[in-house]
Amino acid sequence: MRKILTVSIFCIVCFKGIAQNDSLLNRLEEVVIQADKKLKKYSVGYKVTTLNDSVIVRNTESFTSLLRFNSPLYLREYGAGGTSSASFRGTSSSNTAVIWNGININSINNGQTGFNSLTVSLFDAIDIRSGGGSLEYGSGAVGGTIHLNDYLQFTNTKQIKNQLVASLGSFETYRGLYKFKFSNSKLAINAGVSYNQSENDYKFLNTDFKNTNGAYENFGFNVSAAYLLTNFSKLKFYSANYLGERFFSGELPNPLAANDKYQDFSHRNLLIYTHEKSRLSHEAKLAFLTQEYRYFEDKTSSTFNFGKSKRYLVNYDISYSFPKLKAIVTSHSEYESVFGKTDQISERNRRQFSQSIIYNQNINSSVSFNTKLRKDFNSDYDVPFTYALGVKVKPFRNLFFRANGSKNYRVPTYNDLFWPGQGNLDLIPETAVQGEFGIGYKNNQFLIDIGIFYINAKDKIVWTPGGDPDRPGIWVPINLSEVNNKGLEVSLTFNKTFNEHAIKLNMNYSYIIATDKATDNQLIFVPKHLFNSNLVYTHKRFSFFYQQLLNGKVYTTESNSNDFVIPHYFVANTGLEYKLINLQQKQLTIGLKVNNVFNKYYEVQPRRPMPNRNLKFNINYKF
Amino acid sequence: MKISKLISKAFILSALFLASCSDDDSPQQPKGDYENGVLIIGEGSGAGTGSVSFISNDLTTTENLIYKKVNATELGLYLQSITFDNDRAFIVVDNANTITVVDRYTFEDDATITTGLETPRYMAIVGNKGYVTNWGSTSDETDDFIAIVDLNTFSVDNTISVGNGPERIVAKDGKLYVSHKGGFTNNNVISVIDIASENVQEVTVKDKPDELLFNSSGNLVVLSEGRTLYDANWNVTGNTLGSISTINTSSLTVSTELNFADGEHPSLMVLDNATLYYELGGKVYSIAEDASALSSTPIVESQGYLYGMEVENDKIYLLDASFTDLSELNIYDLITKNKIDTKSVALGASKIYFN
């Protein structure tokens, strides 16, 4: 009764409260070493979905398509392989933070991550956490966070594992990926290289055109290592490097007009020292990250626009546990210095110090919660004080309630502030207060999680031609709108094995009402309905899978004019896999995937048809 | 703007005349849904395609996206201008490098030119040839050109190389006049091209010349916006003058120059009944075409972002452009200065044509 009362109070107050870390897939948490401990520890009350290695390997087309078919995010992509952004729960794409091994890697220049300008197939798992995360991950983590994680593992005996994945696909697409893992009781090393190349010149259905100028090529190289210094201390190192070149394809009525090219270079390095002895644990992090893009408006010309940034980050955590209370209190201190410039903006330096305190407690086996507070000191402007609270209650064996509430923010980007002639130095950070309440049921075969959320975002930074009344027609960013997002998210997984048959089903559905307070209209580029599902059926050495997406209609004008919409679309992919070798130490799988199996015409962005039916042949060799 | 209006008027009159000559008794057959009205073009933006709106002359009917409704496809980004001949409209879309050819009264698609153009802006028609200004590559100021389009085969047959950033183009007496606003950068010349010899001469005017029209004496009137100057850190360091210049078409010299005050940057100029109308700071001013000084009294103060303007039959049509939504057309009576009507029209509305 007391539990239920607690739940009700939290719900009534403001949806802050209750919950649990509900990864939809189980992890080997005991032995895996992660760079980012915050995600696992402090996601009480949040919904966290993990996309594991097998899902990633099945969806190597792009980070965009991986998320589109396997997560509750809405992806906007300017033609397959083009510029791409992702959003949670009707928030804007700059409200989605991408977190690499615990570090927010959104660009300092535009505040976003391009979802086709990084390859993720080298990561061991991708976690998707819906809900505000500014407290742990800083600016931009308003709608949710996407975590790219490397898992390192010490083993009692020496182990060497190799994985080679190669694929050949339509439109002259070649992909290769090699991962190496070494481990013993003191040392763990992961290394991986990936290479992708595609002409990507798919036919535009119902037209005489092809996706000309859509080719891409990229190379990724990741290394991570952990070393056991003493029984209490470890040293960990992570490095991720990416080089990519893409051409930006054109749109109807004349895709031949496209003539631009884009290059990305990023290098991310992170060193972590941890010391854990009895009740006290320390962790120190040192990170250095660089990012650069070059945009060639004319691919034949050597002139380009660019943006570059360098980031230095120092972080110190100390936590102390109270075993009797089953509680942990943690202090995070972080100092960051960022240098950013573009061809239009001379180099600027932004420094930020943040301090947060987190308190975690399991009251008993069925109630756990955490409370978090954070204060930032920024060299450019005042960042609001942020807080978050998460609670999970498990009143019965399989039933759980979860709730969370938080205040989050997004600081203006360098483009917002300093864009020549248009940047606005008077901008303040946008803030969002949100709450979520979820109820779920979980047993060995079945998991369902139903959550309702509410987000109130104020001072949204919007670029508008009427931003400065003295200069009509000049696009300037201002703290303009107040928006309310509310909706429902349902996710479901089902696993069943009988005799030699196994079925696995995943589904995500979201219903989102996101309105501008001034007009009460649905925000542009926010689909009310988003549904995807994945079905995998395995029999002995055979696997069959089917994935589908139903993406609702979106409006592209503030007045929700029916003349300017992107119609809803449905697209499905399917595939067959066969294990040629299936031994403990060695597995060889071959697979064939058919994307857009019904050969449907669909557009994610206006006048940019997406690929017609296409094939991918895949070999996955683990040894 | 003006030349196409003159052409359209001429053809409407001739069509009427021919129609009435050939068959005096039977009523005239309508040529299409979009006859006897006003066409508004919108550039489009990330929020939606470039499009054409139609408003009937009696202002009772407004129809948006008429090209899409007739042809079930979109014109794309960014719809820059339309040029008309007898019964066709040539729709220039600059980012798409296309000219879409439609029946001007039914808007049924005839052809789309997809090759030989690179950021096309405006077209002038002489005989069965179209002359199209093109900015060329964004990263090259020396590759700008006039594309010569065969209006029977819809192919670009030839090009004439011109200076940086050719914008408006008008034709008169075997010559083409091109204002070089400067495209992606700046320029300050008017090119005069002899059509037969393709010989190009340049006349220097004030910075950023845009609108071109011929006055009653047949001389060329040019509106130059003038530039705002910045230092390396994009602080404003000064301005160059805007001006209404008149070029004598015989001697190809600037005969008069009405300069705006330092820091004033006019835009949009049209001619109607020997009166010039121009925009400055969101307000509309008018002067006689042979005036020796600019006006200091606005005739109409526009609403929102004044991005397009036309005058006909004592009415002034002003576009309040939105690039995130439908725009507004406000129509004022020039005599009473009262607003007659407001219509919701194309996204990024920029130009008005009388069809």
Task: Give the model confidence (pLDDT) of B141-151 as tens digits.
Answer: 899 999 999 99
Select the residue of A251, A346, A607 nearest B233 (Cβ to Cβ): A346
Task: Indicate left, alpha or beta for A111 from its phi (over 0: left) and psi (-120 to 50: alpha).
Answer: left
Q: For A538-545, what is the mean pLDDT?
A: 94
The beta-strand segments (E) located in A465-611 are 476-498, 501-516, 529-539, 542-551, 554-555, 565-566, 569-582, 587-595, 603-605, 608-609
Which residues on chain A are in Cβ contact (under 8 Å) with B350? none
User: Is the CB of A251 inside 8 Å of chain B's CB atoms?
Assistant: yes
Residues of B near A (Cβ–Cβ under 8 Å) read 46-49, 64-65, 68, 73-77, 93, 95-98, 100, 112, 114-115, 137-140, 230, 232-234, 282, 304-307, 321-326, 347
**In Å, what is the CA distance from A31 to each residue of A152, A156, B164, B193?**
9, 11, 66, 79
**Look-up of token digits 């069509």:** B15
Q: What is the pLDDT of residue B9?
A: 45
What CATH number is associated with residue A186? 2.40.170.20
Say if the Cβ atoms of A564 and B321 lie within 8 Å. Answer: no
Beta strand pairing status for B62-63 and B51-56? antiparallel
The ipTM estimated for the assembled molecules is 0.84
Q: What is the pLDDT of residues B109-148, one digit of tens each?
A: 999 999 999 999 999 999 999 999 999 988 888 999 999 9
Which residues on chain B are in Cβ contact (under 8 Å) with A252? 73-74, 76
The structure tokens listed for A448 are: 């369902």
Do A155 and A189 contact (CB within 8 A), yes or no?
A: no
Q: What is the pLDDT of residue A618?
A: 93
Chain A window 102-161: which residues touch B at a Cβ cutoff of 8 Å?
Answer: none
The torsion angles phi and psi of A46, rounded to 5 degrees, stand at -105, 160
| CA pair distance B205, B179, nearest whole angstrom | 9
Q: What is the pLDDT of residues A60-88, one digit of tens each?
A: 888 999 999 999 999 999 988 888 999 99
Say if the Cβ atoms of B325 and A472 lie within 8 Å. Answer: no
Q: What is the pLDDT of residue B27?
A: 60
**Look-up of token digits 């819906």:** A130
User: Residue A473: pLDDT above 90?
Assistant: no
| CA pair distance A226, A191, nearest whole angstrom | 12
The beta-strand segments (E) located in A229-322 are 233-248, 260-277, 280-296, 305-322
The structure tokens listed for A164 are: 């080679």
User: Is the CB of A563 inside 8 Å of chain B's CB atoms?
Assistant: yes
User: Residue B40: pLDDT above 70?
Assistant: yes
The beta-strand segments (E) located in B72-199 are 79-84, 88-93, 98-103, 109-113, 120-126, 129-134, 145-150, 155-161, 166-172, 175-180, 189-194
Do A528 and A511 contact (CB within 8 A), yes or no?
A: yes
User: Is the CB of A349 inside 8 Å of chain B's CB atoms?
Assistant: no
**In Å, what is the CA distance from B222 to each residue of A194, A530, B201?**
58, 54, 16
Select the residue of B68, B96, B325 nearest A254 (Cβ to Cβ): B96
Q: What is the pLDDT of residues A382-393, one digit of tens each?
A: 888 999 999 999
| Domain total of chain A | 1
Q: What is the pLDDT of residue A36?
A: 80
Say if the Cβ atoms of B114 and A253 lie within 8 Å. Answer: yes
| CA pair distance B278, B301, nearest whole angstrom | 12
Determine what percent of chain A is predicted with pLDDT higher than 90: 68
Which residues on chain A are in Cβ contact (under 8 Å) with B307? 473
| CA pair distance A45, A403, nearest whole angstrom | 5
User: Residue B4: pLDDT above 90?
Assistant: no
Give strand pairing partners of A150. Answer: none
Q: What is the pLDDT of residue A32?
A: 67
Which residues on chain B are in Cβ contact (under 8 Å) with A473? 305, 307, 321
Which residues on chain B are in Cβ contact (under 8 Å) with A259? 137
Select the residue of A253, A259, A466 nearest B73 (Cβ to Cβ): A253
* Shortest alpha-carbon distance between residue B23 and chain A (Å): 41
Q: Hey, of A248, A521, A561, which one would you mutate to test binding to chain B, going by the most B CBs within 10 A of its CB?
A: A561
Full-model pTM = 0.87
Select the residue of B100, B137, B347 nearest A557 (Cβ to Cβ): B347
Say if the Cβ atoms of B323 and A606 lie within 8 Å. Answer: no
Domain holding A221, by residue range, is: 2-622
Say if the Cβ atoms of B307 and A473 lie within 8 Å. Answer: yes
Lowest mean pLDDT among A532-541, B228-237, B346-355: B228-237
| CA pair distance B48, A564, nearest whole angstrom | 6
Q: Confidence class of residue A602 from pLDDT cuts 50, 70 and 90?
A: very high
* Shortest alpha-carbon distance between residue B214 and chain A (Å): 28
User: Is the CB of A464 inside 8 Å of chain B's CB atoms?
Assistant: yes
Q: What is the pLDDT of residue B31?
A: 84
* Shortest alpha-carbon distance between residue A79 and chain B (Å): 14
Give strand pairing partners of A289. Answer: A268, A311
Q: What is the pLDDT of residues A327-360, one digit of tens each?
A: 999 999 999 999 998 888 889 999 999 999 999 9
**In Å, what is the CA distance from A314 to each residue of A27, A289, A311, B90?**
29, 12, 10, 61
Q: What is the pLDDT of residues A284-305, one digit of tens each?
A: 999 999 999 999 988 988 889 9
Lowest mean pLDDT among A31-45, B10-24, B83-97, B198-212: B10-24
User: Is the CB of A469 inside 8 Å of chain B's CB atoms?
Assistant: no
The torsion angles phi and psi of B262, rounded to 5 degrees, stand at -55, 130
Q: For A258-273, what is the mean pLDDT?
A: 94
Q: What is the pLDDT of residue B29?
A: 76
**Between vectors from CA A377 to CA A371 and to CA A380, what angle results, nearest 5°?**
135
Identify which of A291, A253, A302 has the alpha carbon closest to the alpha carbon of residue A269. A291
Select the residue of B93, B139, B324 nearest A558 (Cβ to Cβ): B324
Do B93 and B110 contact (CB within 8 A), yes or no?
A: no
Which residues on chain B are in Cβ contact (under 8 Å) with A557? 47-48, 324-326, 347
